[in-house]
Structure 1
Amino acid sequence: MTLPDAGGGPLGLFGGTFDPIHYGHLRLAETAREALGLARVRLIPAGQPPHRAAPGASGAHRLAMARLATADNPAFEIDPAEVEAQQASFTILTLERLRAALGPERPLVLLLGLDAFLGLPAWRRWEALFDFAHIAVANRPGYSLDSAALPPPLAAQLAARHATAAGLGDTPAGRIVPFSMTPLAISATDIRSRAAAGHSLRYLLPPPVLDYISLHQLYS
């Protein structure tokens, strides 16, 4: 399934396992929307992440939680295609799918944390990502894209593609743009550990997600 094009302005793309989705994910998406001038942010739960262990919750559960978490924000939308595909979720394949659906002119902006960006050379066909989307990298206090020790191939890409948010709407793909955010000290790994130990998850997740986890006894 491919969502219809909401039209107008750069579209942010935020992929992840979302196992479960939490306030840290939502805050990154909202900060990126505002800092980068994105028209919308499309969250894309992974079906089968290729570089990590199987998720603790099924794709159907993770998709349902993502929908619940974003229901009150009209600038967020959920793309179910990776979960429905029932195959490994490689970013390059996702971008190819979205570019084919949305056309050659719509600016697409792939949102990454700095740690994920530093690992980019290990991704499948990573240099081709720039043919399909811009990449926006979330800096955190004391640790920025400009100060990070980049692998030489990644440093070369940054030197050639570094830009500011102001230019994201001018071209459909190909730029690297940093943006700043204050991360919340929340992790899905910690949430799953807390759930398994029977500890409270309150104030880590949106209430509808918390209720869903309790209803379906996830991670316990």
Structure 2
Amino acid sequence: MAISVSEPDPGTNQPLVLMFGGTFDPVHNGHLRSALELTQVLPVRAVHLIPCQIPPHRDQPGASAEQRLAMLQLAVKNEPLLQADDRELKRPGPSWSVDTLSSLRQQYGAEQPLAMVLGWDAFMGLPDWSRNEELLDLAHLIVLTRPGQMSDASEALCGLLENHELKPGEQLNAVPFGRILRLSLPSAMQVSATYIRRLLGQQASARYLLPDAVIEFIRSHRLYQ
């Protein structure tokens, strides 16, 4: 499927609002470090960490929506730029990114630079996403990459990158939507929630992979056993 976007009007160089979605089952230090480093390498107003209610492309989470939100709230409570956002949990049905971006766009207004953060693997699947043609009409895309991860992209994605990737010297927050930034973060922590759940299921320690408050929550609620 071809993906087309309209051309945005110039913005006002406001700091970015970022959408960082996921199942957060559980939230771990890889999520948190990536979110924090985004605020260090880009001008950022807020990072909305948004647990999904019903993931369209993944298995159902092991913890409930309320438990995943509670763990996220514990994890970010001392980071003023990181916000645990429950808007997808309040919405019935599958958690489509385009609906969440529409909600954020309505909240912040037409001129606010807004970006969705996703990994390279998720970006590779973008042509299969619901209403993918609307995404760049609502926000920028920040695609997090790691060395050796730049596998071949589809023709549709190559065209999208050619037309909308941020050029040298351009600032992502100069316009409110419509650009793509491929970004490799300094730490690039490779932490897997699947691996953490397996450790916990084996009664092994997940210390240093999760915030201590999240570990205590998991222990007290007997999750992932």
Give deviations 1:182-209, integer Å, cap 9, x for gaps. Answer: 3223110011111111111111100110
Q: Structure 2 residue aligned with 1:163, among 154, 159, 166?
A: 166
Aligned partner of 1:29 in structure 2 is 35
Q: Structure 2 residue aligned with 1:190, among 187, 192, 195?
A: 195
Distance in 1, Cα, partners of 2:59 & 2:165: 33
Q: Please, what TM-score do these two structures have when normalized by structure 2? A: 0.89
Aligned partner of 1:205 in structure 2 is 210
Q: RMSD between aligned alpha carbons?
A: 1.4
Aligned partner of 2:10 in structure 1 is none
Unpaired runs of at least 5, structure 2:
1-13
After superposition, where does 1:60-209 map in structure 2 within 5 Å?
A: 60-144=66-150, 148-163=151-166, 166-181=170-185, 182-209=187-214
Distance in 2, Cα, partners of 1:183 & 1:169: 23
Aligned partner of residue 82 in structure 1, secondary structure: coil
Task: Tell me which amino acid in the other structure corresponds to 2:148.
Answer: G
Distance in 2, Cα, partners of 1:213 & 1:166: 43
Q: Please, what TM-score do these two structures have when normalized by structure 1? A: 0.91
Unpaired runs of at least 5, structure 1:
1-7
- List structure 1 segments (4+ residues) > 4 angstroms apart after TM superposition: none
State the structure with bigger RCO (CA 8 A, min sep 6), 1 or 2: 2
Deviation at 1:212, TM superposition (A): 0.4
Task: Tell me which amino acid in the other structure corresponds to 2:173.
Answer: G
Residues 174 and 65 of structure 1: CA distance in aligned 2, closer, same or farther (over 3 Å): same
Q: How many residues are matched?
A: 210
Deviation at 1:166, TM superposition (A): 4.7
Aligned partner of residue 169 in structure 1, secondary structure: helix
Give deviations 1:17-56, integer Å, cap 9, x for gaps. Answer: 0000000001111122222222221101101111111100
Aligned partner of 1:5 in structure 2 is none
Give deviations 1:71-91, integer Å, cap 9, x for gaps. Answer: 111111111011122421000
- Identity, % of aligned positions: 41
Aligned partner of residue 90 in structure 2, secondary structure: helix
Distance in 1, Cα, partners of 2:104 & 2:18: 12
Distance in 2, Cα, partners of 1:185 & 1:168: 26
Aligned partner of residue 44 in structure 1, secondary structure: strand
Task: Tell me which amino acid in the other structure corresponds to 1:194.
Answer: L
